[in-house]
Amino acid sequence: METLNNINKERLFHTLSKSSEIGAIPGKGLKRLALSDEDKEMRDIFKGWCQEAGLTLRVDDFGNMYGRREGKKALPPVVLGSHLDTQPEGGRFDGILGVLLALEVVNTLNDHNMETDRPVEIVNFTNEEGARFEPPMLGSGGVAGVFDQEYVYSRKDREGHSFLEEMQRIGYKGEEENRLGDFHSFLELHIEQGPVLEEENKQIGIVEGIQGISWMGVTITGEADHAGPTPMHLRKDALMAAAEIMHNMEKKIANTEVTVTVGKISASPDTVNCVPGEVYFTVDIRSTDDQLREGAVEQARALISEVCHERQVDVETAELWETEKIDFGKGIIDAIEKSVETLGYSSRRMVSGAGHDAKYINNIGPTAMIFLPSVNGKSHVPSELTLDEDIISGANVLYQTVLALAEE
Amino acid sequence: METLNNINKERLFHTLSKSSEIGAIPGKGLKRLALSDEDKEMRDIFKGWCQEAGLTLRVDDFGNMYGRREGKKALPPVVLGSHLDTQPEGGRFDGILGVLLALEVVNTLNDHNMETDRPVEIVNFTNEEGARFEPPMLGSGGVAGVFDQEYVYSRKDREGHSFLEEMQRIGYKGEEENRLGDFHSFLELHIEQGPVLEEENKQIGIVEGIQGISWMGVTITGEADHAGPTPMHLRKDALMAAAEIMHNMEKKIANTEVTVTVGKISASPDTVNCVPGEVYFTVDIRSTDDQLREGAVEQARALISEVCHERQVDVETAELWETEKIDFGKGIIDAIEKSVETLGYSSRRMVSGAGHDAKYINNIGPTAMIFLPSVNGKSHVPSELTLDEDIISGANVLYQTVLALAEE
């Protein structure tokens, strides 16, 4: 390993600052939903950067973009990247750092005329957030065989536009033959999105795996009534049923090892003086222990049934998404740790609470992640922040780890 | 009183059936929001019917429409009517019956060449529902002096269109001098919107007054966080705070004399994997006893403060609307009761749980209401239904009562 700390900070912060303009919203946030006009604009810029770096660009049938730098040998590549899309009121860092720092790594290889044994590929996966098209990680899930093409293509946003239509509209429908092929290792750098690294004053998180996640959609159908003349005991109020369920999920099911989140809710007819006849809400349950998570899902189902039965309202629960806890590749975790030690950064091993593209890519080859601290643990908000010095540390760790893996 | 049961059923059901086409939605419902294109279409048809009936039409500065039939003497008129607008997923009857049965009354007077001592005016009030422009009853509240013109004109719908703009756009901005003048009595026929008449098998409700109503808007501001990496104890989840409040309002504040309804709710950022940082919901509290209602509002405020303080989230409550319990005019109530007895219908006296135009008109002259049964107590839903036989009974009671009042 002949170079340390050789990334070009000026170039790195230029790309990050340019990205922060595309889809900017008040409070320094971004709204860059997957396959939107803003996503297209960012993709076009990223494509230009890849071309300037001399990478061979290809786009697959899920809109995933790959930039390849050849190696000395015809070996499977080292792959690194993440996603450039954001939540509707998201931040500037999230998965974006993972893509732009990957770009910085190949630019640094170029700066030093480094020839690696293995090719290096950088990647931008489509619709990681799941904010526009549910479920999340459709691009990485597609190439990993978790979702088939028809399923991914038919996902619809709230306005009824499909993934396929929107991918074609912005001109990023590529070929199936361009999908991620055999690879030596996949590395995803990402912000932590939680408070742990900051609290413990660590520069780098070495991520050993990802929590299991279960998503449910719950539709309660009671009876819409005028708020005035309908006595309480004759009501079938869908929202009061939902309130009882939400409150008891928080009190009785969530704990230090299991999180429960109701992120979306809507009531119909949604006027001040009508008892809501229908309510829809989502439930997100996570744990690093699959048995605890599955137990919590069972408890939630039982609670929902019990409350709705007692109140004589109808209920339907749909399983929207489920992934088990996963363990990353030991060899890559060790390689990250070795780079961190070489560079003299503080670090800790940890399990991610959030889903990431690395989760699905881990299904098809050795994978691990690098986390950078999130100020106040915040993410998916405009105030999301990772400090410049931590970004530089992350870029160096990524560069050193790629150098090591590319010679294996 | 020389005629009984003389209304023309065929004509009456023709007007009702025509009205049921304007803004029709699936399930036999109507979406005819105040000052919308559908409202304009219905107003144009109603105007034509008034002209066919030989009425002198005028429109005031709130878009309220009046059709006048002169009397033998220059005395203050007997006025009857209600509103032609509906909820977004409303029914075909609601206030519509009150306007169309008023039209049928003047047509029946014409059929029999009846000359009344007093003039008879029929009226369609603007934006009774409050579904498009809040608060409700803007047209009747305007003429009654409850709201001033500037306030009414500046009310905005969810898209930001103002009452004034929309009234001008559909061509129904009239003159201030056309407002309802001195009147002898105001009669509003309406569906009950509750289960009482049907349960007790009564044909006619003689309405002595209206419950007091308080509306609040509650905005809870916590912190938006990623659902995965944020432990439960570090969250400031605005929706879980709202759920605790809603559930406890139902358990501890609502009772047989006080209703509590949360009709509207929204969460932000509203994605499956984000802890909601902000929630808005409305609270509607009603009682026939003003002291109980005011006590319940105080309890609700205290509960909201307590829960939000404990959870360290910010909260703002806004008083959106409040009206005290009101008592209708004894003379008109007695006149309705006498007509019901003459016609041999079953009836009961009752207090309305819902607000109506009659509530505000009662401020400026003697007023009362006639209720007709609602099948299953339903209203503000497409399945809202009042049976043909009950509509005919209602028309006859209205006709007999107008005949009596117009000779006083």
CA distances from B55 to A372, B373, B406 (A): 77, 30, 16
Chain B: give the shortest CA distance to residue A75, in Å.
Answer: 36
Output the CA torsion sign for A295, A300, A303, A304.
Answer: negative
Chain A: give the shortest CA distance to residue B217, in Å.
Answer: 9
Residues contributing to the annotated binding site of B for Zn(2+): 83, 94, 129, 190, 380
Chain A residue whose CA is closest to B274: A263
pLDDT confidence of residue B1: 40
Q: Can you tell me which residue has the tokens 């609307």?
A: B321
Peptide bond before A135: cis, by omega within 30 degrees of 0? yes
Same domain, A53 and A163: yes
C-alpha R_g of chain B: 23
Chain A: give the shortest CA distance to residue B297, in Å.
Answer: 16
- Window 324-363 of B: residues touching A by CB (8 A cutoff) are 352-355
- Picking from B193, B257, B273, B350 by the largest number of A CB atoms within 10 A of its own CB, the best residue to mutate is B273
Cβ–Cβ < 8 Å for A230, A251: no
- CB-based contact (8 Å) between B230 and chain A? yes
Same domain, B44 and B180: yes
Cβ-Cβ contacts under 8 Å, B192 against chain A: 229
- Number of domains chain A is built from: 2
- CB-based contact (8 Å) between B126 and chain A? no
Cβ-Cβ contacts under 8 Å, A137 against chain B: none
Chain B: give the shortest CA distance to residue A64, in Å.
Answer: 22
- The ranges of chain A with pLDDT < 70 are 1-5
Same domain, A160 and A249: no
Same domain, B62 and B202: yes
Partner-chain residue, chosen from B131, B244, B273, that has the shortest CB–CB distance to A130? B273
- CB-based contact (8 Å) between B320 and chain A? yes
**Rounded to an integer, what distance in angstroms lies between the CA atom of residue B365 and that of residue B77?**
11
Cβ-Cβ contacts under 8 Å, B131 against chain A: 271
**Rounded to an integer, what distance in angstroms lies between the CA atom of residue B49 and that of residue B42?**
11
Give tens-digit pLDDT for B348-382.
999 998 889 999 999 999 999 999 999 998 888 89
Cβ-Cβ contacts under 8 Å, B322 against chain A: none
Q: Confirm whether A3 is domain-assigned.
A: no
Cβ-Cβ contacts under 8 Å, A255 against chain B: 232
Partner-chain residue, chosen from B232, B254, B259, that has the shortest CB–CB distance to A259? B232
Same domain, A309 and A395: no
Same domain, A167 and A246: no
Cβ–Cβ < 8 Å for A72, A117: yes
B231: containing domain: 212-323
- CB-based contact (8 Å) between A262 and chain B? yes
Q: Confirm whether A1 is domain-assigned.
A: no
Q: Confirm whether B1 is domain-assigned.
A: no
Q: Confirm whether A2 is domain-assigned.
A: no
- CB-based contact (8 Å) between A292 and chain B? no
Same domain, A28 and A85: yes
Chain B residue whose CA is closest to A234: B195
C-alpha R_g of chain A: 23
Give the count of Cβ contacts less than 8 A between chain A and B: 247
Are B271 and A256 in contact (CB < 8 Å)? no
- CB-based contact (8 Å) between A213 and chain B? yes
SS3 A142: helix
Partner-chain residue, chosen from B243, B263, B267, that has the shortest CB–CB distance to A243? B243
Q: Which residues pair with B1 in a beta bridge?
A: none
Chain B: give the shortest CA distance to residue A28, in Å.
Answer: 15
> In the Cβ-directed half-sphere of A290, how many Cα atoms lie within 13 Å?
8
Cβ–Cβ < 8 Å for B33, B39: yes
Q: Of B289, B188, B199, B300, whose CA–CA distance to B252 is shortest?
A: B300
**Rounded to an integer, what distance in angstroms lies between the CA atom of residue A238 and that of residue A276?**
6
**DSSP string covering A338-358, please?**
HHHHHHT--EEEEEESS--HH
CB atoms within 10 A of CB A309: 11
Burial group, residue B233, by CB count within 10 angstroms (0-12, 13-18, 19+): exposed
A226 labelled as ligand-binding?
no
Q: Of A165, A151, A149, whose CA–CA distance to A34 is shortest?
A: A165
Chain B: give the shortest CA distance to residue A261, in Å.
Answer: 6
Chain A residue whose CA is closest to B286: A228
- Window 160-199 of A: residues touching B by CB (8 A cutoff) are 192-196
Give tens-digit pLDDT for A138-160.
999 999 999 999 999 999 999 99
Same domain, B333 and B312: no
**Rounded to an integer, what distance in angstroms lies between the CA atom of residue A240 and that of residue A243?**
5
Cβ–Cβ < 8 Å for B5, B343: yes
Give tens-digit pLDDT for A237-277.
999 999 999 999 999 999 999 999 999 999 999 989 899 99
Are B275 and A263 in contact (CB < 8 Å)? yes
- CB-based contact (8 Å) between B250 and chain A? yes
- Domain end, chosen from A323, A347, A379, is at A323
**Rounded to an integer, what distance in angstroms lies between the CA atom of residue A131 and that of residue A87?**
6
Are B380 and A224 in contact (CB < 8 Å)? yes
Same domain, B317 and B254: yes
What is the number of helices (H) and of strands (E) in chain A? Answer: 12, 18
SS3 B58: strand
Residues contributing to the annotated binding site of B: 83, 94, 129, 190, 380
Output the six-digit token pair for B297: 């509002």
SS3 A229: coil
Output the CA torsion sign for A144, A148, A149, A151.
Answer: negative
pLDDT confidence of residue B2: 43
Are A275 and B256 in contact (CB < 8 Å)? no
Partner-chain residue, chosen from B229, B239, B264, that has the shortest CB–CB distance to A354? B229
Q: Can you tell me which residue has the tokens 């170029």?
A: A110
pLDDT confidence of residue A351: 92
Strand A204-210 vs strand A347-352: parallel, antiparallel, or unpaired? Answer: parallel
Chain A: give the shortest CA distance to residue B268, in Å.
Answer: 8
One digit per residue, pLDDT tens: chain B, 408 residues? 445 568 999 999 999 999 999 999 999 999 999 999 999 999 999 999 999 999 999 999 999 999 999 999 999 999 999 999 999 999 999 999 999 999 999 999 999 999 999 999 999 999 999 999 998 999 999 999 999 999 999 999 999 999 999 999 999 999 999 999 999 999 999 999 988 899 899 999 999 999 999 999 999 999 988 888 888 988 999 999 999 999 999 999 999 999 999 999 999 999 898 999 999 999 999 999 999 999 999 999 999 999 999 999 999 999 998 989 999 999 999 999 999 999 999 999 999 988 899 999 999 999 999 999 999 988 888 999 999 999 999 999 999 999 999 999
Output the six-digit token pair for A59: 């786009």
Phi, psi values for residue A98, rounded to 5°: -65, -35
Output the CA torsion sign for A324, A330, A331, A335.
Answer: positive
Output the CA torsion sign for B297, B299, B304, B305.
Answer: positive
Q: Can you tell me which residue has the tokens 């309705």?
A: B336
Phi, psi values for residue A370, rounded to 5°: -120, 130
- Picking from A226, A244, A278, A356 by the largest number of B CB atoms within 10 A of its own CB, the best residue to mutate is A226
Q: Confirm whether B244 is domain-assigned.
A: yes
Are B377 and A230 in contact (CB < 8 Å)? yes
Partner-chain residue, chosen from B211, B231, B261, that has the shortest CB–CB distance to A256? B231
E-state strands within A13-156: 24-25, 29-30, 56-59, 65-69, 78-83, 120-125
Q: Confirm whether B360 is domain-assigned.
A: yes
Q: Which residues pair with A24 in a beta bridge?
A: A30
Same domain, A148 and A219: no
Output the domain CATH number for residue A391. 3.40.630.10
Task: Report the mean per-residue pLDDT for chain B.
Answer: 95
Output the domain CATH number for residue B257. 3.30.70.360
Same domain, B344 and B301: no
pLDDT confidence of residue A354: 84
- Domain end, chosen from B323, B353, B376, is at B323
- Window 29-68 of B: residues touching A by CB (8 A cutoff) are none
Same domain, A69 and A147: yes
Partner-chain residue, chosen from A266, A269, A320, that has the shortest CB–CB distance to B89? A269
**Rounded to an integer, what distance in angstroms lies between the CA atom of residue B402 and that of residue B117?**
11
- Picking from B244, B248, B249, B261 by the largest number of A CB atoms within 10 A of its own CB, the best residue to mutate is B261
Q: Confirm whether A69 is domain-assigned.
A: yes
Q: Can you tell me which residue has the tokens 């790309």?
A: A15
Strand A265-268 vs strand A314-323: parallel, antiparallel, or unpaired? Answer: unpaired
Cβ-Cβ contacts under 8 Å, B238 against chain A: none
Q: Of B236, B216, B309, B320, whose CA–CA distance to B278 is shortest?
A: B236
- Domain end, chosen from A323, A354, A371, is at A323
Q: Confirm whether B38 is domain-assigned.
A: yes
